[in-house]
Amino acid sequence: MTKELIKIKIDLLPANKLDALRKFTDFMLCKANNEIITRHLMKLLEQSSAFNFLNDEPDLYSAKNLIEKYQ
């Protein structure tokens, strides 16, 4: 569906439905912004060296420590 068609349909809506449409579009924009922010934060964390100290930590547990093994 093109933006022009959506705009035409919005113009056809009764005035009492416009507030619901505004709330929905605000929700969709917020969700899209949150996804963008999350992607950028994940990328920053991947590039960060803040948790590199964990690479030198010894493994505390192994498969020998398991009581039950699930496949």
Alpha helices in 1-71 (DSSP H): 3-12, 18-47
Residue 27 lies in a domain: yes
Domain with 29 in it: 16-48
Q: Is residue 53 part of a domain?
A: no
Backbone dihedral region for residue 28 (phi beyond 0: left; psi -120 to 50: alpha; all else: beta): alpha
Q: Is 40 a member of any domain?
A: yes
Mean pLDDT, the chain, whole residue set: 91
Higher pLDDT, 37 or 57: 37
58 inside domain: no
Examine residue 55 and state whether it is found in any structural domain, yes or no: no
pTM: 0.56
pLDDT digits (tens, 9 = 90+) for 21-43: 999 999 999 999 999 999 999 99
Is 9 within a domain? no
Domain membership flag for residue 35:
yes
- Provide the pLDDT for residue 51: 85
Are 20 and 26 in contact by the 8 Å Cβ rule? The answer is no
Q: Is the model's pLDDT at 71 over the cut of 90?
A: no
